[in-house]
Structure 1
Amino acid sequence: MSYMININGINNVLESHISKSIEYICIVTNRCEDVAFTKKYPRVKRLCPMVYNIWKTQCMVDVAVKKFFFASDKYRILVQSFGDFIFIMFGNNKAEIGDLFSKMNLIQSTLANLLSLN
């Protein structure tokens, strides 16, 4: 499942997915090359080292989220769920979102491989 929302709609998206017991939240932005996990859920911390430094720390996630909360309405978010994960991608335009979306294939296959080892 994927869909576009305005930046101001992020709270509703998070609440609706968390209420469905999504265990992991992953934030990808066009402002940083790598990906950020929220460490709100206990298993995330254990999984992080296995992803070979792809993930940022909680404080970086907070900074990224706060930065985009106050960003222009021109920003768009692509939200995609993958099993127990939800990915939130920020971009200025369709080209940036497309580029981020292409990176998700690698990230998702990495996660799938890691989860199959557990």
Structure 2
Amino acid sequence: MTPEVQKKGLELPHVTAALAGAIGLLSLIQRQEISAGDFCVRFEHMWNFEFNNEALSDKEYQSLDALFDEVVWFSPLPRAQWEYPKYRDEAEIRAAVAATIRSFDLPNA
């Protein structure tokens, strides 16, 4: 398990190593230990270059892939400056993270 998951003290015997890494990162933004911008950069890199997607269940893959589709549209600029309507702000990223966490049926999530 990742240090973030261990730090939180979760016992997650059903969680694969691939999912544990994602949960650790999700928990950092949920606890507001990293900004939405930092989360998006780290999650996008993790999803593109570090994940073994074959180690995820279909449900886990679909949840994380849906989150990725939100993360790639994050913009730190104020909404009034957006030139493209699909951009996402920090509140929308945090809502997407919360929905992803709920989809995993984790204790204390």
TM-score w.r.t. the length of structure 1 is 0.30
Structure showing greater relative contact order (alpha-carbon pairs closer than 8 Å, 6 or more residues apart): 1
TM-score w.r.t. the length of structure 2 is 0.31
Higher strand share: 1
Higher helix share: 2
